[in-house]
Amino acid sequence: MKRYVITLTLIFAFVLSCKSQPKIEIVGGDTYDWKKVSISENPLKAKIQIKNAGNEKLIINEVKPGCGCTTAPLDKSELAPGEVANLDVTLRVSAGQHDVMKSIRISSNDPNNPNKILFLKANVFQPIEVTPTTYFPFNEMTVGKEASSTLKLKNNTDKPVKLSKIEMTPEDVFVNLKGEKTLKPGEEIDITAKTTPKKTGYFNCTLKIMTDSPDMPEVVITGFGQIKESPLFNNK
């Protein structure tokens, strides 16, 4: 009888120990979606709560974002049953209209889910978009020979956008966009930058365009290239 009681006690203790464990939970679900955001909102921020939904202490050992564009400091790493911690997420998004999907791995002592994954989503809306690149690529540059690069500028909004105060530096780089220009909703135009290099070396330029769009009051486009020697001109 005594042996039976001891055995029963051990079984009961084992059952209790199996049920007593921490459980990690992301309040609101495993995916945080900013939905449609403007590039002017960059960087994106969110405060996400991590809860211990179990009945033993939850210890968060590591919070590791999937890329350098994301930071996520945690205000505390040990949670009593029912307690929550705050994860301050900052996500930096690149220019251009695109969907973003990133992740954060949260490692803890939850035996059933030691590596919890938090997914981050956003649809980045670029009111005024520059394509196919965000800069002027001057791929072929030779002293004394005109070089040019063309990009497209598009109004992705549902309202007209006025372009003004168009400035290109240095002054010996010329652009086909002058004065003021109004882009209709959905309208796309070509912007061409031209220059005739006078000497070899690294080349760069910057085009600045002011707009009346509250979400993107200024468009800045840089340009790069490497100027080569020419047998026909003084290259120095």
Summarised one tens digit per residue, pLDDT across range 96-139 is: 778 999 999 999 999 999 999 999 999 998 899 999 999 999 99
Handedness of CA 123, 126, 132, 136 (dihedral sign): negative
pTM listed for this prediction? 0.69
Closest CA to 134 of 55, 48, 222, 205: 222
Count CA atoms within 13 Å of residue 213 on its CB side. Answer: 29
Query: What phi and psi values does residue 17 have, to the nearest 5 degrees?
Result: -65, -35
pLDDT of residue 138: 96
Check pLDDT > 60 for residue 5: no
Q: Quick check: bond before 214 cis, omega within 30?
A: no
pLDDT at residue 175 in the model: 96
pLDDT band at 2 (very low <50, low <70, confident <90, very high): low
- The predicted pLDDT at position 12 comes to 47
Q: List, in order of start, the domains of the chain with CATH numbers.
A: 23-125 (2.60.40.10), 128-228 (2.60.40.10)
Q: Kindly report, residue by residue over 31-89, the tens digit of the pLDDT.
A: 999 999 988 888 999 999 999 999 999 999 999 999 999 999 999 999 999 999 999 99
Model confidence pLDDT, tens digit, residues 150-165: 999 999 999 999 999 9
**Where would I find the beta strands (DSSP E) of the chain?**
24-26, 31-38, 44-52, 58-65, 70-71, 78-79, 84-91, 98-108, 115-125, 128-131, 135-142, 147-155, 161-169, 174-175, 181-183, 188-195, 201-211, 218-228
Average pLDDT over residues 6-25: 64
Question: What local confidence, expressed as pLDDT, does residue 234 receive?
Answer: 59
Question: What pLDDT is recorded for position 227?
Answer: 94
Distances (CA, A) of 112 to 106, 108, 196: 13, 10, 66
H/E stretch holding 4 reads: helix 2-19
Q: Which of 70, 29, 67, 71 is nearest to 50 (CA)?
A: 29
pLDDT in tens, 177-233: 989 999 999 999 999 999 999 999 999 999 999 999 998 899 999 999 999 998 776
How far, in Å, CA of 140 to CA of 200, rounded? 12
Q: Which pair of tokens denotes residue 231? A: 């047998």
